[in-house]
Structure 1
Amino acid sequence: MTLKTFAFLAAMMAATAAGMAHAEERRITVDAIGTVQVAPDMATITLGVTNQDAEASVAMKATSDAVAQVLSRLTDMGIEDRDVQTRDLSLSPVWSNRNQQNGEPPEITGFVASNRVFVRVRDLSQLGQIMDAVIQDGANDFGGLSFGLQDTKPIEVQARAKAVGEATSKAEQLAQAANVTLGPVQSISERTGGVRPMAEMRAFSVADTGGVPVAGGEITVSVSVSMEFEISE
């Protein structure tokens, strides 16, 4: 037998052995999701001011003055600079005769100026009062309100533990149903599901000072895992 033939046979035997070993591997793979519901401790609102006037400069000045007053009020109420950000600033013409069929050309008859800001409220007990105050100061454009958590990591730890426990329980049930013995974990991976509002809302006390009524409800933090267990002999 030549050296080349011997090397070829050795490679074939190694490949066959590896294939048999792989074929003998028996695994149980399960997926699970762990969720934790908690009350929010932060809110984000998008608010702004919109004004229309025949003169562009007048519309923009009225909007800018009102926004400056809103920002000053937010500062007075304890909102930090890092929690306020301009979202968009726009100035658009108002057209007349744009869709007319009489042949007359369209004409600009005015301008609309808009300035919207993103505000993060870390003290939810002030949320209703803040919304009420900025409306009084000229805010006439609200783009949304959402609740969240300032730090999701502790809740994610709980959700992760629940997901692993659920996956392990599923694997044990499958092993018992198949009349096999569940072995050690061979691999595990996770995917964070993020934070989302719960459909079932819970009343949230704003204040007794007459602010805009809001409901904080609950939010859910979820983590999904995929685990692979060995089947022992």
Structure 2
Amino acid sequence: MKRLILAASLAALPLCAVPLAANAQQLSTAPVVAPGNSVLTVSADGRSTRSPDLATFNAGVTTQAKTASAALAENAGKMNAVITALKKAGIADRDIQTSNLSVNPVYGQPKRLADGTTEGDPVIIAYQATNQVQVRQRKLDQYGKVIDTLVNAGANQVNGPSFELEDSDGAMDEARIAAMKKARARADLYAKAAGLRVVRVLTINESGGWSPQPVLFARAEKMMDAAPPAPPSPVAAGELEMRANVTVTYELAP
């Protein structure tokens, strides 16, 4: 009986060792460099530019009345006119999204005494309602005209634009390729100076994104003060710069 138990125990040992060996293999993920070779890590950036094809902005209405319900009712009427104007200007329903709807009390300032102190507590003197939508404008040449149309329809809050690329993958890939070419050129330069040559890429790490250029935009508050009809508000879309930063580790050999 003892011999049978011992044999069973010994037979189970290889089964326990197999997962341990597998785990040991998983822990070793670093690239293996050939004996006598060395490692070089360089960083480089690549860039590409594109003209934006999408502008995002916020537009809305703020109203004030003695009661919250009155402020909200007045706001709803004016905001409906703004949304109608957006649609008439060619903005699709899918490109209009409510971003803020709020009602808040407006407090009066306490009476200030001669010694600089105040008397009494702040009291509610009115209520302010705000309704804003986020809009995506696809026809950039019509942007200034759309903003003017909104202001004429009753919008008293306009903020933006933020220029974007609807599909930035191609531009980012172009920046990545430029970054990798620059990294390889630097690696070849360093290797040659050290009397070595680049054998292969060991690791690649990437970071990056896009950076918008400054734009010109006339805010709605200024446009509302203009009495006579004026040309559409000037807007310069400029260019978007896509950036990719790579850190590449190479194996060098004699």
1:115 alignment counterpart: 131
| Alignment check: 8 A CA contact 2:111 2:119 kept | no
Aligned residue in 2 for 1:44: 56
Secondary structure of the corresponding residue to residue 192 of structure 2: helix
Distance in 2 of aligned mates of 1:98 and 1:169: 70
* 2:155 is equivalent to residue 139 of structure 1: yes
Shift of 1:80: 1.5
Provide the rounded CA distance (Å) in 2 between the counterparts of 1:164 and 1:99. 67
Q: Structure 1 pair 102/34, CA: closer, same or farther in 2 (3 Å)?
A: closer
The total of aligned residue pairs comes to 206
Q: In the TM superposition, what are the counterparts of 1:81-120 in structure 2 within 5 Å? A: 81-98=93-110, 100=112, 101-120=117-136
2:89 corresponds, among 60, 65, 77, to 77
Amino acid at match of 2:240: I
Q: Is the Cα–Cα contact under 8 Å of residues 148 and 195 in structure 1 kept in the other structure?
A: no
Q: Which residue of 1 aligns with 2:205?
A: 189
| Alpha-carbon offset, residue 172 of structure 1 | 0.9
Identical-residue share of aligned pairs (%): 34
> Hey, what does 1:165 align to over in structure 2?
181
TM-score normalised by L of structure 1? 0.81
Deviates more, 1:164-173 or 1:105-114: 105-114
Please give the alpha-carbon distance, in whole angstroms, between the structure 1 residues aligned to 2:42 and 2:83. 51
Give me the whole-angstrom Cα distance separating, in 2, the residues matched to 1:102 and 1:73. Answer: 46
Q: Deviation per CA, 1:20-69, whole angstroms, max 9, x where unpaired?
A: x7874411111111111221111000111111112222211121111111
Matched residue, 2:232: 211
Segments of 5+ residues of structure 2 without an aligned counterpart are: 1-32, 217-229
Change (3 A) 1:22 1:185: closer
Q: Which runs of 5+ in 1 are unaligned?
A: 1-20, 203-208
* CA deviation map 1:171-222 (0-9, x unaligned): 111112222112121222222x2222125x69xxxxxx93211111111111
1:141 Cα deviation after fit: 0.9
Across the aligned residues of Structure 1 and Structure 2, the Cα RMSD in angstroms comes to 2.2
Amino acid at match of 2:62: T
Aligned to 1:177: 193
CA contact under 8 A between 1:93 and 1:110: conserved in structure 2? yes
Q: Counterpart of 2:242?
A: 221
One-letter amino acid matched to 1:231: L
TM-score (ref. length: structure 2):
0.75
CA–CA distance in 1 between the matches of 2:85 and 2:163?
Answer: 22
Aligned to 1:55: 67
Pick aligned residue for 2:143 from 127, 141, 160: 127
| Cα distance in 2 between the residues matched to 1:187 and 1:105 | 65
C-alpha change, 1:103 and 1:38, in structure 2 (3 Å) is same
1:118-159 CA-partner distances (Å, limit 9, x unpaired) = 101111011111101001011111233211111101101111
Q: Say if 1:70 and 1:231 are closer, same or farther in 2 by CA, change over 3 A.
A: same
Secondary structure, aligned partner of 1:167:
helix
CA distance in 1, matches of 2:149, 2:174: 38
